[in-house]
Amino acid sequence: MYSRKVIEHFTRPHNQGVIKNPSGTGMVGNPVCGDLMKIYIKVKKDKTAGEFISDIKFETLGCASAIATSSMVTDMAKGKTIDEAMKISRDSVAESLGGLPPIKMHCSNLASDALHAAIEDYRKKK
């Protein structure tokens, strides 16, 4: 039912935790299942690359797919410019995990939505 990648990221999630004094945070929830995801980002500026995500962490209260997609989205966003990170989509997170069972596709929404919310929060604070 779950791909090997989903199981790997669920059992040993990457970038789990909190960033103190983050540049932005994004929290989203799914009203149907009640799962919650919070993403913290640290943004730095580089003369050539521009603003990029130098660090990213997540806290997730949720199902195995929600934890695996949180872990994957943080891996995908780390080191990217904020414009590139805004382009990370729900589908690209699920694809990078080797797919999710159809009934679990909505779980990948939380991950990209929380990332985008953290970037929006950073932009608002600027």
Q: How far is the CB of 35 from ligand FES (least distance, A)?
A: 4
Nearer to ligand FES, 2 or 52 (CB): 2
- Please identify which residue in the block is written with the tokens 């995500």: 53
Count of beta carbons in the 10 Å neighbourhood of residue 94: 24
Pick from 28, 76, 82, 107 the residue near ligand FES by CB under 6 A: 107
Site string for ligand FES, 73-102 (x = CB under 6 A): ------------------------------
Pick from 3, 16, 30, 92 the residue near ligand FES by CB under 6 A: 30
**DSSP symbols for 11-52:** HS-SSBS--SS-SEEEEEE-TTT--EEEEEEEEEEETTTEEE
Is 114 a binding residue for ligand FES by CB under 6 A? The answer is no
Concerning whether 63 is annotated as a catalytic residue, the answer is no
Count of beta carbons in the 10 Å neighbourhood of residue 91: 12
Is 61 a binding residue for ligand FES by CB under 6 A? The answer is no
**DSSP symbols for 59-73:** EEES-HHHHHHHHHH
Concerning whether 33 is annotated as a catalytic residue, the answer is yes
Collapse the DSSP code of 14 into the 3-class scheme (helix H, G, I; strand E, B; otherwise coil) and give the result.
Answer: coil
Using CB under 6 A, list all residues that contact ligand FES: 30, 33, 35, 62-63, 65-66, 104, 107, 110
